[in-house]
Amino acid sequence: MAAAYRRCLGIALGAIWLLAGCAGAPPPPPLGPVAPPEAVSRNPQEVALEVALSDFYGAPYRLGGTTPAGVDCSGLIQALYHRAGINLPRTVAQQYETGRPVSRGQLRFGDVVFFNRYCQTRDREVYLAGIFGSGWGDQVCHDGFYLGGGRFVHASPRGVFVSRLDAEVWRKAYRGARRYLPGGD
């Protein structure tokens, strides 16, 4: 009798655990302003990027998407730059291989920051590279658009929203940045 009770309890707890996993992600934090906190003048491409950003805020996540109706991280970057007249490759890895490297201390509006936070598979194992040690993660698999003031906008499974580079998860997962806008080096 006790074994049957433990078995039923185990099944019930397993079902609760599975259903809790299907509850979905928490809603994204409220959207902040597009412009960085400091007042700066913008060139025409930067203005085009600002306008494009306003179209994408709050957009839902869609793997392979490149429009405000649904977008993934590299699709967001590609679409933003396309609207500013700059053609970028489609994938995060390809985007990381182009542009000029930028040190973290030299980031400015329009730079693209790269992470290994949402890497999903490696040799058929599921993992989150930003949580495990350095052995897990030199590859890049997530990117975002740097706004200034330590903030970046990106598309994740929660949609398009702003995060802070100094948040622990992003600080640990950070792999570098690239600049695609001309000048300002």
For residue 20, give the H/E element and its range.
helix 2-21
Beta bridge partner(s), residue 161: 154
Asked if the structure places residue 98 within a domain, the reply is yes
- CB-based burial label for 136 (10 Å; 0-12, 13-18, 19+): middle
What is the residue-averaged pLDDT of the chain? Answer: 79
Residue 119 confidence (pLDDT): 73
CATH number of the domain within which 89 lies: 3.90.1720.10
- Residue 159 is which amino acid? G
Asked if the structure places residue 184 within a domain, the reply is no
Among all residues, which ones are annotated catalytic?
73, 142, 154
Residue where the block lists tokens 């509006």: 109
Asked if the structure places residue 27 within a domain, the reply is no
Asked if the structure places residue 112 within a domain, the reply is yes
Asked if the structure places residue 86 within a domain, the reply is yes
Distance CA 35, CA 10 (A): 52
Q: Is pLDDT at 35 greater than 70 in this prediction?
A: no
Residue 39 confidence (pLDDT): 57
Asked if the structure places residue 33 within a domain, the reply is no
Q: Which of 9-18, 35-44, 77-86, 151-160 has the lowest average pLDDT? A: 9-18
Asked if the structure places residue 50 within a domain, the reply is yes
Asked if the structure places residue 14 within a domain, the reply is no
- What are the distances in angstroms from CA 93 to CA 60, 63, 130, 170? 22, 15, 16, 18
Residue 21 confidence (pLDDT): 34
| Structural domains in the chain (count) | 1
Closest CA to 137 of 124, 149, 146, 127: 127
What range does the domain containing 97 cover?
Answer: 42-179
Give the global pTM: 0.72
Q: Taking each helix axis from N to C terminus, what angle separates 44-56 and 73-83, rounded to the nearest 10 degrees? A: 140
Instruction: For 62-84, write each residue's pLDDT tens digit.
Output: 999 999 999 999 999 999 999 99
- What are the distances in angstroms from CA 95 to CA 19, 72, 142, 162, 183? 37, 14, 10, 20, 19
Higher pLDDT pick, 168 / 19: 168
Span 87-109, mean pLDDT? 96
